[in-house]
Structure formats: C-alpha cells, structure tokens
C-alpha cells in the first residue's frame, strides 16, 4: 500500500506541479493575455486609422 504522508515523493511532486500550474495560470491570466488583448486592439485601431488616412473617413462622399 503506498504511503500517503505529506513527505511522500509523489505527494511532494503533486504539490509542486499544482503550484507550477497555478503560477503559469497567473502569468497567462494577468500578464500575457492582457498584453495580447491590448496589442490586438491597438493593432486593429492602427489599421483603421491608416485605412482612413489613405481612403478618407467613413460617410457619404463629398460633393
């Protein structure tokens, strides 16, 4: 029967893996994905801005 004490190597490994996964989640959730979102939104805004500089603003054509 395996030993289920907290000092058992498998228990320590599981705890370490859980901590690593939680830290990876925090880095993704509060670090990388917000930067990706801001970059994507900023890139889209830049494309719209450049399109309007080249082709003019939206709306009916000027007479």
pTM assigned to the model: 0.64
The per-residue pLDDT for 43 is 98
Taking the C-alpha atoms of residue 11 and residue 8, their distance in angstroms, rounded to an integer, is 5
Q: From first to last of the 63 residues of the chain, give the pLDDT tens digit.
A: 555 566 777 888 888 999 999 999 999 999 999 999 999 999 999 999 999 999 988 888 777
Token pair of 63 as six digits: 């007479």
The per-residue pLDDT for 10 is 81
User: 24: buried, middle or exposed (CB in 10 Å: 19+, 13-18, 0-12)?
Assistant: exposed
Token pair of 13 as six digits: 């490994």
The per-residue pLDDT for 61 is 76
């Amino acid at each position: 029967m395996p030993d289920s004490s907290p000092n058992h190597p498998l228990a320590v490994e599981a705890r370490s893996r859980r901590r690593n996964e939680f830290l990876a989640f925090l880095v993704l959730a509060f670090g990388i994905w917000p930067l990706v979102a801001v970059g994507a939104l900023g890139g889209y805004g830049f494309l719209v801005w450049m399109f309007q500089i080249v082709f003019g603003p939206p709306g009916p054509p000027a007479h």
